[in-house]
Structure 1
Amino acid sequence: MLVHRLEGNFQVQGRQQQPQQQRRPWSDSLAHDSSQQRPLQSQPSNAREEPSSEFNQLTLADQYRTSNQISDSMRRSKRPAVDQDSCYPNKKDDRGSGSPFSVRHEQALSHATSPPPALTRTPTPSQGYRSTQRTPLSSPKLPPPAPASGPRPHSRQPSHLHSGSLPQDGPLEGDTKMLLQPETRPISQEQLVNEVKGIYAGLVMVEKKCVEICQQQSQTTNKLSNEQWQALIALHRTLLHEHHDFFLASQHPTASPALRRLPTKYAMPARMWRHGIHSFLELLRHRLPFSLEHMLSFVYLAYQMMGLLMESVPAFHETWIECLGDLARYRMAIEESDMRDRENWSNVARMWYNRAADRSATTGRIQHHLAVLARPNVVRQLFYYSKALISGIPFVNARDSIMLLFSPFLDKYETTSQKYLKVETSLVTAAGVLFTRGFVHDYCLHISRFASELDGTINRTGSNFKIQGAEMASSLIAMILDFGSDENFLWKALCADSENNKQRQMEGQSDQPSGTNPSEDPVAKSQMRRKFWEQNDPINLQDFVQATAPLGDRPGVKFSSSDEVTSYVLPVWYQCISIVAAKVGDRNILPFLHFTLSFLWGLSDVPEALIYLENYVPWDKLVLSLNSMSRSGVVDNEVEAPGFPQQQSGTGRQLPEDFLMRGFKWSHCHYYDPEFFEGQVTDEDDRTLELPSHAAPRAERCLWLGVRLASLKRYITYDSSSKQFSCTEFTQALPPVSLTNTFQVPASLENGEDTSMIDVV
């Protein structure tokens, strides 16, 4: 009866749901990318262009009087008689599910299984919310926000949520008498339901006022006084406190499952960010630089509140982590005077996003956030933007944001190219031409320059090529997949395999009560792989599609299809692997080879995908590199074992490129074990460190991948006695691929001269 009554009380009555609005923080500059900009709440038809005269004449005392009146009305009754249309939350409709912000909360909230903690005592009005002490220690020391003048709006102290009653009068001064243990009083479900309903009724009143004021102020450019800004901050602070009370009450240890589902059912975290933080931050941003001090104060306030929620309401831990990263990006973006503080806040945002990636490695939206923070490193930006598009859960809005990287190279190449190395500008420009379906001639020109500069770059950069090499290898793979285009053959094959894995997972959960998942079981996957590659009958190529050869440099012709894009990238991929693998004895190339070999091994689970590009893999060069690889510290039993190597390396069992490689469709279920990034995980501060102890595990991983590819018995073989690899007759008969003959590189490029590109229109 209680569940049905509670569900009925929170139903929407005669109110049309507005689509969920996408939450987007702005980037590291004030002129942020268009994908980050989202309008505030849709304006009503009768919205006025200018704010009301009452608001313009409103004093600070009036604002606080209004807040106190709202608080008084919330304290009169646990069920205040308010308008029905504004009392109950709106359910999220399907129209809002497409936005990345709503998608985040649907994913985060639907997986919130951790039990809520014991409810902490709500502070009295004189104590306030001491969230500064609850701020995580990993964040920088925050100066306290400038307090608004005047009395603080009274915060609710729920009487039914405490485990014991507080004494009405404290001990007198000088009285040292010991206080007795407070009397504990159990709370009934009816009392808890009434408390939640009362909190929500007051929350709706404050939320409605916040929305109205933000709507009015977004339509005008009139300057506000300091008192008015402080009043607005106090109003939004009240809304954040109301949300905090709502989360504490609904996640109380004695709350019923129906109560605990309310924040998820009505998207309360999304509403808190949208109306309580994001819309007001955007209003403050548009009034810069006059609102700078107030924006700093509110960012600190919101940051502290999110830190408090992360500790007190861990059921939505992933959501709070991403919100903390977004707030750190806001703080970073408005810092222009002190570059050290700007870099510190950039590192804080990166830390939160990496923590979010640890919990949701396949979420492309997190990679998009990291791409914004990667500026001005253009190769790293290309890596993260492209990863956002080809992750297990692609973030399609990154297609708009990635143009912020490509546009300067496509529109003003001669000016932009002077700021970066040739190998970087040529790779990013070639990727931009492919992404925008530009001219074939422009692509051939820049990708040929990239291939010609790669060898010298490896020699000059030294150990720095370990990370950059992995990023380049990933970017080339993204170009092969045409950045996750729905028309691309390889991408469609990977997506179809992912859907089949999900279906097998659902069937496995229903058939196997123990929870064994055949799609993630290494033994089951190995059996499915051997069933195809070790069949008695040879593979009939007529049953499979293979990549076509490119048509060469064609001036004045643009790319017309996704598979044509792939055909032009595969010869470059072949050439780059050949250049890298030819560096015999150079340990700096191992991350590039590790990335490439893992991609090939991941495609072996999708046979039609590997056969599609098998003619454009330099198998002989890979065999040469594997045979010449140093085996110092390598355990042969680990290399030849069928299971994934689980050895320790450095400060953890993960290599630096493992954190770059996880989350792709071809690596998530096809390369790493499900538990590889759990338990003994490398510390966040040590993930990018290259240690001498990484050399042996990295070589061991590459050799293990070589042995796994040899088990396919189609491309290479492995002799366990001599520890040597060799090519099969099939690969020996493959014709070599020459980049120069394919694209007809101009003589000016071969001589090292710069050639201007044709602007993409």
Structure 2
Amino acid sequence: MGSRLPPSTCQNEAATGSIDPTKADIATLREQYKKVISWENKCIWFDKKQPQSTIYLPCHRWQAIVATHKHLLQEHERFFSRSQMPSASAAIRNVPFNYAMFDRMWRYGIYSPLELLHRNLSETLVHMLDFIDYVSSTLNRFLAFDPALGVVLYEQLGDVTRYRMAIERQDRKHWARISRYWYQKAADRNPNIGRIQHSLAVLSHSDVLQKLFYLTKAFVSVQPYPPGHGQATIDIFFDHWKNLPFQHDMAAHFVIVHSALLVNDSGDRFKTSANIFMSLLPRHVQRPRSLNQHEVYIMSCNIASILGYGTPEYQHMADHFSKQNSGAAASESTSVQKKADAIFLTFGTLSVLLRHSKFPNVVPGIHISLAFLWRVSFHRSVMEMLEVAVPWQAVTAFLNSLFSHDTAFSKIEDQNFPVGDYGTAAQLPEDLLIRGQVWSKFYYPESFLKDASGYGISLDELDQEEVVRKNRCLWLGVQIAKVS
């Protein structure tokens, strides 16, 4: 692997005593880069030499493998430190990012040895624990040096912690919480990346609706996680539900319905489970006020089914939503029955929510449904496919019920996204869940979700959450009517 750093040009300047600091920095960085390359090649050689199956090696050989990869991480750390020296120019400071050094560090210095150690766990447990601790410390030192590196390193920390979760069975829940913490921080920095949503799905054990939400969101993200790559997760998740008796469990029937849609099974199992799910949903939405966002999870999963879950026909639909508006014809490659089933499920569920809109748990799910319909309204062919199934009368009745004496008509009739009295829009909990999905791409102003780690503006400082959500729903209703 050849060097792509700028060539050194300061060989003769030492004799004159007038070394250009920039050229000196380049020379120093170039020498350090050579060391990175040297140790990278050693690690690649080590990794290629090992078979893909379980192997036996004496303890000192495992120690040597771990030590070699640790040394590569040390050289990467020195390289980054020298690229960020106070005298370094902006071009030099950008070298680690321009040359994907953190991706290379992960691939050759972390991922490869972790996979090798994990394949041979009976012989390598002590070595793997030692290496995981070392990697975690190294990545945290990078973050301490520059917190902005979280955009790259949070996901790596989540992955490393998942390896620890896999080998320490007694503390599995503890390490799962830590891994989820890092992945959530990674998702806050990179909301468009489906791969991170898939990782969150893998770690969502206690809430089946949340797990299905993250799994389907991964497939319909702006940068989708290909369903083929997630097939193992899909199989493990849905196999658990295949042979269960039909119980009065709303979540179980909802999972069965989406399992049928994913495998294009439009038989009696789908119809029966869909009808039972919708009959049980009213009881669920009447639970005490909850922060678990189940109605948002449910509608998000249903929207993903309309978009094809990231299967080949989804790409054509994604192309529609990647533009602000379009008039091109919708794809006909999708099974007609599968498309009809997804539409039936989505708007049948919306009808149930609208009938029970007096319960506060329901309105966030209605809100994201209206946001989806507004985005659909800009794509004529997609709207033509859906509009017959939309419960428009119930939507109108719901919106009319939101008007009150203090309704700010100037805000809901404005073309611009509604903001509060202080000229700033408050983030709602569901905003942070649907961000990053391809269909929600143009719903929010460009800077609205810039502070994605939580509410950008405290709802207590502005309007109450219900008022903000009410105004959003009314604004969406007006915008849909304008476009239609």
User: Which of 623, 641, 644 lines up with 2:417 in the alignment?
Assistant: 644
Does the CA contact (< 8 Å) of 1:247 and 1:263 recur in 2? yes
Does the CA contact (< 8 Å) of 1:318 and 1:359 recur in 2? yes
Larger Rg: 1
With over 3 angstroms needed to count, the CA separation of the structure-2 counterparts of 1:194 and 1:286, relative to structure 1, is same
Alignment of 1:546-565 (within 5 A): 561-565=334-338
* Residue 614 of structure 1, CA deviation: 0.9
Q: What is the CA–CA distance in structure 2 between the aligned matches of 1:456 and 1:640, rounded to whole Å?
A: 35
Does the CA contact (< 8 Å) of 1:581 and 1:621 recur in 2? yes
Secondary structure at 1:641's aligned position in 2? Answer: coil
Q: What is the CA–CA distance in structure 1 between the aligned matches of 2:189 and 2:53, rounded to whole Å?
A: 41
With over 3 angstroms needed to count, the CA separation of the structure-2 counterparts of 1:218 and 1:544, relative to structure 1, is closer
* Residue 411 of structure 1, CA deviation: 7.7
Does the CA contact (< 8 Å) of 2:426 and 2:455 recur in 1? no
Q: What residue in structure 1 maps to residue 194 of structure 2? A: 364
Secondary structure at 2:252's aligned position in 1? Answer: helix
Q: What residue in structure 2 maps to residue 753 of structure 1? A: none
* Residue 225 of structure 1, CA deviation: 5.0
1:503-531: CA deviation from partner (whole Å, max 9, x where unpaired):
xxxxxxxxxxxxxxxxxxxxxxxxxx8xx
Q: What residue in structure 2 maps to residue 446 of structure 1? A: 273
Q: What is the CA–CA distance in structure 2 between the aligned matches of 1:444 and 1:458, rounded to whole Å?
A: 22
Alignment of 1:613-652 (within 5 A): 613-629=386-402, 631=404, 635-647=408-420
With over 3 angstroms needed to count, the CA separation of the structure-2 counterparts of 1:544 and 1:279, relative to structure 1, is closer
With over 3 angstroms needed to count, the CA separation of the structure-2 counterparts of 1:452 and 1:281, relative to structure 1, is same
Secondary structure at 1:656's aligned position in 2? Answer: coil
Q: What residue in structure 1 maps to residue 476 of structure 2? A: 705
Q: Residue type matched to 1:586 in 2? A: F
Alignment of 1:185-264 (within 5 A): 188-218=21-51, 221-224=54-57, 226-255=59-88, 259-260=92-93, 262-264=95-97
Q: What is the CA–CA distance in structure 1 between the aligned matches of 2:91 and 2:136, rounded to whole Å?
A: 29
Does the CA contact (< 8 Å) of 2:158 and 2:182 recur in 1? yes
Alignment of 1:524-535 (within 5 A): none
* Residue 236 of structure 1, CA deviation: 1.9
In proportion to residue count, which structure has more helix? 2
Q: What is the CA–CA distance in structure 2 between the aligned matches of 1:496 and 1:585, rounded to whole Å?
A: 34
User: Which of 117, 130, 134 lines up with 1:284 in the alignment?
Assistant: 117
Q: Deviation above 6 Å: which 4+ runs of structure 1?
A: 543-548
Does the CA contact (< 8 Å) of 1:570 and 1:616 recur in 2? yes
Does the CA contact (< 8 Å) of 1:603 and 1:610 recur in 2? yes
Q: What is the CA–CA distance in structure 2 between the aligned matches of 1:236 and 1:458, rounded to whole Å?
A: 52
TM-score, with length taken from structure 1: 0.56
* Residue 280 of structure 1, CA deviation: 1.1
Q: What residue in structure 2 maps to residue 604 of structure 1? A: 377
Q: What is the CA–CA distance in structure 1 between the aligned matches of 2:297 and 2:313, rounded to whole Å?
A: 24
* Residue 708 of structure 1, CA deviation: 2.1
Aligned length: 472
Identity over aligned residues, as a percent? Answer: 31
Secondary structure at 1:463's aligned position in 2? Answer: coil
* Residue 260 of structure 1, CA deviation: 4.7
Q: What residue in structure 1 maps to residue 294 of structure 2? A: 468
Q: What residue in structure 2 maps to residue 31 of structure 1? A: none
* Residue 253 of structure 1, CA deviation: 4.5
Q: What residue in structure 2 maps to residue 117 of structure 1? A: none
Q: What is the CA–CA distance in structure 2 between the aligned matches of 1:709 and 1:358, rounded to whole Å?
A: 29
Question: Are 1:428 and 2:201 an aligned pair?
Answer: no
Q: What residue in structure 2 maps to residue 586 of structure 1? A: 359
Does the CA contact (< 8 Å) of 2:189 and 2:452 recur in 1? no
Q: Residue type matched to 1:486 in 2? A: P
Question: Are 1:299 and 2:132 an aligned pair?
Answer: yes
* Residue 674 of structure 1, CA deviation: 0.8
User: Which of 566, 580, 603 lines up with 2:339 in the alignment?
Assistant: 566
With over 3 angstroms needed to count, the CA separation of the structure-2 counterparts of 1:403 and 1:613, relative to structure 1, is farther
Q: What residue in structure 1 maps to residue 431 of structure 2? A: 658
Q: What is the CA–CA distance in structure 2 between the aligned matches of 1:416 and 1:628, rounded to whole Å?
A: 40
Q: What is the CA–CA distance in structure 2 between the aligned matches of 1:629 and 1:332, rounded to whole Å?
A: 47
Q: What is the CA–CA distance in structure 1 between the aligned matches of 2:356 and 2:194, rounded to whole Å?
A: 33
Q: What is the CA–CA distance in structure 2 between the aligned matches of 1:187 and 1:575, rounded to whole Å?
A: 71
Secondary structure at 1:392's aligned position in 2? Answer: coil
Alignment of 1:22-41 (within 5 A): none
TM-score, with length taken from structure 2: 0.84
Structure 2 unaligned spans of 5+: none
With over 3 angstroms needed to count, the CA separation of the structure-2 counterparts of 1:679 and 1:336, relative to structure 1, is closer
Q: What residue in structure 1 maps to residue 101 of structure 2? A: 268
User: Which of 495, 512, 525 lines up with 2:319 in the alignment?
Assistant: 495
1:355-385: CA deviation from partner (whole Å, max 9, x where unpaired):
3223322222221121112124322222112
